[in-house]
């Protein structure tokens, strides 16, 4: 995982976004133990506080749980992932409505989306 200083998101958000993607792609499985705050902070060369904030974001989304001093991917994350995908769908619909309200035609919107899709990296 690489962190970017000039990214629009602070390190804590970049880390939580990365872990969230790993959960969505099922690279991190339900019940799997995450690296400790200390080990992950050393691996990424960031403060423990940054990792604590990342894990706090993920706990708030109910994607991970804390047991003692350890953190695990939630066992019921399938329902949570489905809910988050539905919320993402709603955000996309909202953006499409906003484009229409700004005067974008159907063809302009389609062209914009297709251009952006070309620049994205999708999992295999």
The pLDDT assigned to 39 comes to 96
The pLDDT assigned to 5 comes to 64
Asked whether residue 16 is assigned to any structural domain, the reply reads yes
Asked whether residue 27 is assigned to any structural domain, the reply reads yes
Q: Are residues 63 and 84 in the same domain?
A: no
The residues pairing with 46 across neighbouring beta strands, listed in sequence order, are: none
Read out DSSP for 31-55? TPBPPPHHHHHHHHT--HHHHHHHH
**What is the tens place of the pLDDT at every residue in 13-32?**
999 999 998 988 889 998 99
Domain that holds residue 95: 78-119
According to DSSP, residue 37 is labeled H
């Amino acid at each position: 995982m690489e962190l970017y200083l000039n990214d629009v998101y602070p390190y804590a958000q970049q880390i939580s976004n990365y872990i969230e993607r790993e959960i969505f792609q099922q690279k991190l499985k339900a019940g799997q133990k995450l690296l400790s705050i200390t080990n992950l902070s050393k691996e990424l060369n960031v403060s423990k506080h940054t990792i604590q904030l990342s894990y706090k974001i993920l706990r708030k989304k109910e994607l991970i749980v804390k047991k003692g001093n350890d953190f695990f991917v939630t066992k019921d994350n399938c329902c949570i992932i489905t809910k988050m995908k539905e919320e993402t769908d709603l955000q996309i619909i909202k953006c499409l409505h906003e484009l229409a309200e700004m005067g974008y035609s159907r063809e302009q919107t389609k062209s914009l989306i297709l251009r952006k899709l070309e620049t994205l990296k999708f999992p295999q």
